[in-house]
Chain A
Amino acid sequence: MTKSNLTRRGVLKSGAVAGAGVALPTIFTASSAAAYTNEPTGGTVTLGFNVPQTGPYAEEGLDELRAQELAVEHLNGMGDGGMMNTFSSKALKGNGILGKKVEFVTGDTQTKSDAARASAKSMIEKDGAIMINGGSSSGVAIAVQGLCQDAGVIFMAGLTHSNDTTGKDKKANGFRHFFNGYMSGAALAPVLAKEYGTDRRAYHLTADYTWGWTQQESVAAATEAMGWETVNNVLTPLAATDFSSYITPVLNSGADVLVLNHYGGNMVNSLTNAVQFGLRDKMVNGKQFEIVVPLYSELMAEGAGANVQGVIGSMNWNWQLTDEGTKAFVKSFGEKYGRPPSGSAHTCYVQTLLYADACERAGTFNPCGVAEALEGFEFDGMGNGPTLYRADDHQCFKDVLVMKGKDNPANKFDLLEIVEVTPRAQVEYAPDHPMFAGGDLGKCNPGA
């Protein structure tokens, strides 16, 4: 007969320690056997595509997902290869990433920070995603970027335009290909001055959250530097649907330009309301009243319909560009889905290829190796001309497009035209620029 050493107190202590261990989220407790979070061990590697599949940006999310699926096809050697054929780096061979077949899982951000974090966390913890890519909101991007930093995976941001994403909220594990509010302002201001003159009075309506604030600050600073005066800046609730009560004060403000720092449904409604109230037909201060939408997207233009005609804005990329990379991507995407890709689809596609290429060049999936490969990476052939992934803040620097709503569109995809391709040098800024100050990139976290 053996004597048991179990005591009531001992069992309770052991239980408490074991319970705490189980309760601790596995995301923050890397296995001692793995060098980094979700190190692939089999013949496949899993990417996590976190896009809005429900909610107001679901259409944009759908387009991002189409592009991400296409990127996976190309990485695995299927289809025509798309931009892999024009990409200046030749590390990708069409045999997956580092010889492992690429698989993917998807999450629904719902364009809500908490939901986006939950879906990213689930993909990392339950599905073993090695990286997270996508999204259509700066609030979401900043939230998910923080989560990925803590979890030890790379975050390749989708559509996020706030200066803060690679400014005060930048993270070592986060990378943004999309342009930002500062770049929009820097690209737009000279064109606006040329089209509408330097003696203008601008009234801003601004979505009341991080993206709206930083875009307004950027556009106001850039236009004021050209001689414009900012008459007023009114913050509008993100949940607003009817902007008439914000637009009527514009009429007797003495302003002759309305700048709509709105995106998505906000932009569609505020622009529609502004046109309804006859702003486009007004003459103020002896000048034709003008409306500016600093950040355009094809899907927004489609929602706003004829109201975008003649309205100037900016974009990260557009399918009408004529470089070889754009042509290859538009052909692949168009033949598969029957429509040209949107700007957010392009950025998600490019981010997926850039991540895969960085893994190949680094020879590892370790986030710190991948981050090192991306930092300071100069590339071309992805539709934006020569591009730099700056090491200081993980922001891509490339040409920016100034767009204008077409007067006589031939079809629903033909709503915008390229007015100018603003060269990269004109939209660059110092890493310690005051609009991007306050953040710390920190150190790469491999999660182990």
Chain B
Amino acid sequence: MDVILPQILNGLDKGSAYALIALGLTLIFGTLGVVNFAHGALFMIGAFCSVSLSRILNLSYVTEDPTQTDFLGKPLKVETPYLEAWFGPEFGGALIDWSVPLAILFSIPIMILVGLVMERGLIKHFYKRPHADQILVTFGLAIILQELVRGIYGANPIQTPAPDMFRGSIDFGAMLGFDPNVIIYPYWRMIYFFFSAVVIGGVFAFLQFTTFGMVVRAGMADRETVGLLGINIDRRFTIMFAIAAVVAGWAGVMYAPINAPNYHMGMDFLVLSFVVVVVGGMGSLPGAVAAGFLLGILESFASMTAVKEILDGIDQIIIYLVAIIILLTRPRGLMGKKGVMED
């Protein structure tokens, strides 16, 4: 149990990221019928919202310290954040320290704007085009976005730590009666899992219990009939695109302390998230979430030494292997509906 439990926990946080990205992908596919290969880039932009806010809050003025020298032997330039100068080291420092949680709010207008520009400016022109065209154009867009980010922030990963109070880890083993220091889980990963659960629950509640959500669901089921009722379904679908962008962005914002953001992180998650969507069933929101967690946990188990000793390299192919098995036995995925992407 002390070997299995940590892998389940690891799978949960990895699965959380997959589930959030796959949820957004499915929302876009279910509403607009677009296969959006730029969705991973939205996740990456979200992570860089954390980086950007951290840098904004860290904006500093420079003074020279004559008692110290830099690498060229000149007086050392010491940077002091404006926030610390204005509000004192304690409050100013706390604001800087909390840059990642604050970035959840900071990212909302940015992700909505990016989502709307992406949908209105490019993707809407491809609604009636074949899925292959959509994949090509959105993949190209993803590359452009990641190169833009690389141009601005460089190729190096940028550390964006969680607030100081969440940087430690919890000894699950000791709590559950195992030896101490055997099952350890970082606080921030736990927060990430709960955050994902809240966001996923919020999206489902929004679609299930609001009039807007009801109309969107009706539009997903029969777009034409909803349109004939005089409802501007396109406008609502555009809003759903923006919501999906915010969900992907939030996944990235909160992921920043787990692994230092880099310009390529969207691509790293994109392919796996698509597999998640396909395994869950194209167009199925619960399927995307379930498959996200399932594949996240399986991927963690496949990384165990005992498993790798049985089949070397299984950790690199497990997700695709499971996808093949599921698609062979359930061609529409775990919760896929008849008729979706079957024309």
Query: Is B140 in contact with chain A by the CB < 8 A criterion?
Result: no
Report B-chain residues with C-beta under 8 Å of the C-beta of A413.
70-71
Query: Is B169 in contact with chain A by the CB < 8 A criterion?
Result: yes
Inter-chain contact A276/B186, CB cutoff 8 Å = yes
CA distance A252 to B306 in the complex (A): 13
Inter-chain contact A241/B184, CB cutoff 8 Å = no
| Most B C-beta atoms less than 10 A away, residue of A55, A268, A340 | A268
Interchain nearest-CB distance for B268 vs A (Å): 5
Inter-chain contact A241/B268, CB cutoff 8 Å = yes
Binds A, one of B1-9, B33-41, B131-139, B197-205: B1-9
The proximity string for A residues 50-66 relative to B, scoring 1 for CB distances below 8 Å and 0 otherwise, is 00001111110000000
Q: Which residue of A lies closest to B304 (CB)?
A: A249
A277 touching B262 in the complex, CB below 8 Å, given contacts A59-B156, A410-B68: no
Query: Is B332 in contact with chain A by the CB < 8 A criterion?
Result: no
CA distance A250 to B185 in the complex (A): 13
Q: Which residue of A lies closest to B181 (CB)?
A: A282
A305 touching B161 in the complex, CB below 8 Å, given contacts A269-B260, A331-B72, A411-B76: yes
Report B-chain residues with C-beta under 8 Å of the C-beta of A28.
none
Inter-chain contact B189/A276, CB cutoff 8 Å = yes
Inter-chain contact B258/A242, CB cutoff 8 Å = yes
Inter-chain contact A245/B72, CB cutoff 8 Å = no
Q: Which residue of B lies closest to A238 (CB)?
A: B316
Inter-chain contact B304/A245, CB cutoff 8 Å = yes
Q: Which residue of A lies closest to B154 (CB)?
A: A59
Query: Is B150 in contact with chain A by the CB < 8 A criterion?
Result: yes
Query: Is B303 in contact with chain A by the CB < 8 A criterion?
Result: yes
Report B-chain residues with C-beta under 8 Å of the C-beta of A234.
305, 308
Query: Is A23 in contact with chain B by the CB < 8 A criterion?
Result: no
Which one of B169, B259, B300 contacts A245 once the chains associate, using CB atoms below 8 Å? B300
Query: Is A288 in contact with chain B by the CB < 8 A criterion?
Result: no
Report B-chain residues with C-beta under 8 Å of the C-beta of A54.
147, 150, 155
CA distance A265 to B154 in the complex (A): 13
Inter-chain contact A244/B10, CB cutoff 8 Å = yes
Chain A positions 312-335 with a Cβ under 8 Å from a chain B Cβ: 319-320, 330-331, 334-335
A340 touching B316 in the complex, CB below 8 Å, given contacts A241-B259, A269-B259, A272-B159: no
Chain B positions 158-178 with a Cβ under 8 Å from a chain A Cβ: 158-159, 161, 167-169
The proximity string for A residues 232-251 relative to B, scoring 1 for CB distances below 8 Å and 0 otherwise, is 10110101011011101101
CA distance A242 to B76 in the complex (A): 37
Query: Is B234 in contact with chain A by the CB < 8 A criterion?
Result: no
Inter-chain contact A272/B71, CB cutoff 8 Å = no
Query: Is A303 in contact with chain B by the CB < 8 A criterion?
Result: yes
Inter-chain contact B158/A244, CB cutoff 8 Å = no
Query: Is B188 in contact with chain A by the CB < 8 A criterion?
Result: yes
Query: Is B227 in contact with chain A by the CB < 8 A criterion?
Result: no
Inter-chain contact A56/B155, CB cutoff 8 Å = yes
Q: Which residue of B lies closest to A305 (CB)?
A: B159
Q: Which residue of B lies closest to A284 (CB)?
A: B181
Inter-chain contact B10/A245, CB cutoff 8 Å = yes
Inter-chain contact B168/A237, CB cutoff 8 Å = no
Inter-chain contact A304/B159, CB cutoff 8 Å = yes
Inter-chain contact A340/B305, CB cutoff 8 Å = no
Inter-chain contact B305/A237, CB cutoff 8 Å = no
CA distance A59 to B150 in the complex (A): 10
Report A-chain residues with C-beta under 8 Å of the C-beta of B301.
245
CA distance A273 to B258 in the complex (A): 7
Which one of B154, B169, B299 contacts A276 once the chains associate, using CB atoms below 8 Å? B169
Q: Using a Cβ–Cβ cut-off of 8 Å, how many residues does chain B contribute to the interface with A?
A: 52
Query: Is A278 in contact with chain B by the CB < 8 A criterion?
Result: yes
CA distance A12 to B13 in the complex (A): 67
Query: Is B264 in contact with chain A by the CB < 8 A criterion?
Result: yes
Inter-chain contact A277/B157, CB cutoff 8 Å = no
Report B-chain residues with C-beta under 8 Å of the C-beta of A411.
70, 76-77
Report B-chain residues with C-beta under 8 Å of the C-beta of A305.
159, 161, 260
Query: Is A180 in contact with chain B by the CB < 8 A criterion?
Result: no
Which one of A237, A249, A268, A272 contacts B315 once the chains associate, using CB atoms below 8 Å? A237
CA distance A246 to B306 in the complex (A): 12
The proximity string for B residues 47-82 relative to A, scoring 1 for CB distances below 8 Å and 0 otherwise, is 000000000000000000000101110001100000
The proximity string for B residues 8-52 relative to A, scoring 1 for CB distances below 8 Å and 0 otherwise, is 011101100000000000000000000000000000000000000
Interchain nearest-CB distance for A271 vs B (Å): 10
Interchain nearest-CB distance for A362 vs B (Å): 36
Inter-chain contact A248/B71, CB cutoff 8 Å = no
Which one of A239, A303, A335 contacts B268 once the chains associate, using CB atoms below 8 Å? A239
Inter-chain contact A334/B71, CB cutoff 8 Å = yes
Inter-chain contact A58/B303, CB cutoff 8 Å = no
Inter-chain contact A248/B156, CB cutoff 8 Å = no
Interchain nearest-CB distance for B303 vs A (Å): 4
Query: Is B214 in contact with chain A by the CB < 8 A criterion?
Result: no
Report A-chain residues with C-beta under 8 Å of the C-beta of B154.
58-59
Query: Is B288 in contact with chain A by the CB < 8 A criterion?
Result: no
Report B-chain residues with C-beta under 8 Å of the C-beta of A302.
156
A276 touching B258 in the complex, CB below 8 Å, given contacts A241-B265, A245-B300, A304-B159: yes
Chain A positions near chain B (C-beta within 8 angstroms): 54-59, 232, 234-235, 237, 239, 241-242, 244-246, 248-249, 251-252, 265, 268-269, 272-273, 276-278, 281-284, 299, 302-307, 319-320, 330-331, 334-335, 340, 410-411, 413
Rank and list the top 9 A-B pairs by shortest CB-CB distance, nearest first.
A305-B159, A58-B155, A245-B303, A248-B6, A278-B169, A245-B300, A276-B186, A303-B157, A340-B71
Supply 4 further A-B pairs (C-beta < 8 A) apart from A248-B6, A273-B258, A304-B159: A56-B262, A268-B157, A282-B181, A303-B158
28 CB contacts below 8 A, A to B, read: A234-B305, A239-B316, A241-B259, A244-B300, A245-B301, A245-B315, A249-B305, A268-B260, A269-B259, A276-B169, A276-B258, A277-B169, A277-B185, A277-B186, A278-B168, A278-B169, A278-B186, A281-B168, A282-B181, A299-B156, A303-B158, A305-B159, A305-B161, A305-B260, A320-B71, A334-B71, A334-B72, A411-B77
